[in-house]
Amino acid sequence: MLKPKKNLGQNFLVDKNKINEIINILPNLKNKTVIEIGPGTGNLTNKLLENSNKVIAIEIDEDMINLIKNNQIINKRNLILIHSDILKINLNKLIVNENDVYLISNLPYYISTKIIFEMFKYPKISIFAIMLQKELVDRIFANSNTKKYGRLTIAIGSLFSLEKKINVPKECFKPIPKVDSGFIILKRKKINFDYNLFLLFIKDCFAKKRKTLLNSLKITENPYFEFVKLYLIRNKFKLNIRAEQILIEDYLKIWKEIENAKFKNK
């Protein structure tokens, strides 16, 4: 077995029982196209190939590419293996004829958030089934008015619903990482607002977590300060409320009113 590369964040899932548990909680993969980022040694890949119509596996490490190619156990009939950096590839070219794509991956911890936001750009990916470090999972599903609740919580909670979540102890990996992990399944919601502009708005809301929401907006170039202030007053929020005290659904309501107001002004 090849030695894992620390610079690529390689921690391979080797526990067969945990792999089977993950496969068993996945939605039905029959006739589905699956994208796997960082297949590594192919332990999960092989199971995905057994259950799905096609797997597009994208791997940055040439050694792992060759390992999978030479692995006689893996059925490569429905495997598309691509040697590339996921952040530099245009997935639209690979899924141009697909309508309902699943992303199923053990993401490298050091770059997982960046990959997630990059994958948000592809609306054809309807299911995100991903392995993340536990600390990141806790942030994604944090409750409001806690230290872990923030931009990531709102960004993902506004676009996805949580379908399932399982804990994955660090001992399930080789080499054993310093932290435990979590495998989560997210289902994309149907939305009717500009998600990218919404993310910029949320970024400004959390620009200064130690300040109030209105003070954070005041020091940015965000043009919505007065609108948000009026919204808070109208809905009986305290004007000294902080960004982490506001629920996801309230942020969505605020943004919906902002978009409606902008539309009416055109």
Please report, in range form, the residues annotated as the binding site.
11, 13, 38, 59, 85, 106
Tell me the longest C-alpha to C-alpha distance in the chain: 66
For residues 237 and 235, give the distance between their C-alpha atoms in angstroms, rounded to a whole number: 6
Contact assessment for residue 51 and residue 210, using Cβ atoms and an 8 Å cutoff: no
Contact assessment for residue 191 and residue 182, using Cβ atoms and an 8 Å cutoff: no
For residues 227 and 25, give the distance between their C-alpha atoms in angstroms, rounded to a whole number: 44
DSSP 226-252: HHHHHHHHHTT--TT--GGGS-HHHHH
Residue with tokens 């597009």: 56
Question: Which residue positions form the known binding site for S-adenosyl-L-methionine?
Answer: 11, 13, 38, 59, 85, 106
Neighbours of 93 (CB within 10 A): 7
∠52-43-163 over CA atoms, to 5°? 55
